[in-house]
Amino acid sequence: MEQTEQLIIEQLKTGNERAYKFLYDHHYQILCHFASQYVKDDFLAETIVGDVIFHLWEVRESIEIRSSLRSYLMTSVRNRCLDYLKSQQSQHEMPMSSPGLQDFPVLNYIKGDDYPLGRLLEKELEGKIMKAISRLPEECRQVFHLSRFEEKKYNEIADELGISVNTVKYHIKHALALLHEDLDKYLAVAIALLFEQLK
């Protein structure tokens, strides 16, 4: 292990906030990309990485890292991703608590997670999703609601609203893009608030 990394780990153990910030500045983006390869969802990947780094801060006094810091973090992220995927296989037939929220895999993750970031998001994220849906353009919101909440097929929605099936598909895709963008901003704020709590 390089001397610089050893120094960062030692500073992390003493509660040095700069060492904690170093983890985000130098590892966050690559870890998110790495996690995304497993879970196929950028928002979920960011949540998992945020959890791993936040948990590392919580147990900083007892951590023992013998490999490189990057390797340690990637192993932790990989294990968390695999745990999530395994839990999804066993719960595949279980419905979400609210209809339509299957579009947001992050909900499945935080509902079964034991770490602080998951608990923080669990209480608020579902409400944030519903508010984000209410902010969608009118026709886009109507199509999304009929598809995700009333479970209607694309051709049924097209007939009901007098639009083409391709227009229905466009609205669904557009709605999901807008919702993920809206929720990504929320996650960034949530992580920023966690930073503030550590000061």
Listing DSSP states for 54-75 in one string gives: HHHHHTGGG----S-HHHHHHH
Q: From the centroid of its chain, how far is CA 194? A: 15
pLDDT of amino acid 151: 80
Tens digit of pLDDT per residue, the chain (199 long)?
566 778 888 888 888 888 888 888 888 889 989 998 888 888 788 888 888 888 888 888 888 888 788 888 999 999 999 888 887 776 554 444 444 445 555 555 655 545 455 555 555 666 777 788 888 889 988 998 888 888 888 899 999 999 988 888 888 888 877 777 777 666 655 555 544 444 4
Calpha distance 145→136 (Å, rounded): 11
* 3 state SS of 114: coil
CA distances from 37 to 32, 33, 40, 64, 166 (A): 9, 7, 6, 27, 29
8 A C-beta contact, residue 28 and residue 53: yes
User: Pick from 73, 38, 31, 53: which is nearest to 117 by CA?
Assistant: 53
Q: How far apart, in whole angstroms, are the C-alpha atoms of residue 94 and residue 175?
A: 25
The structure tokens 């902010």 sit at 135
What is the total residue count of the chain?
199
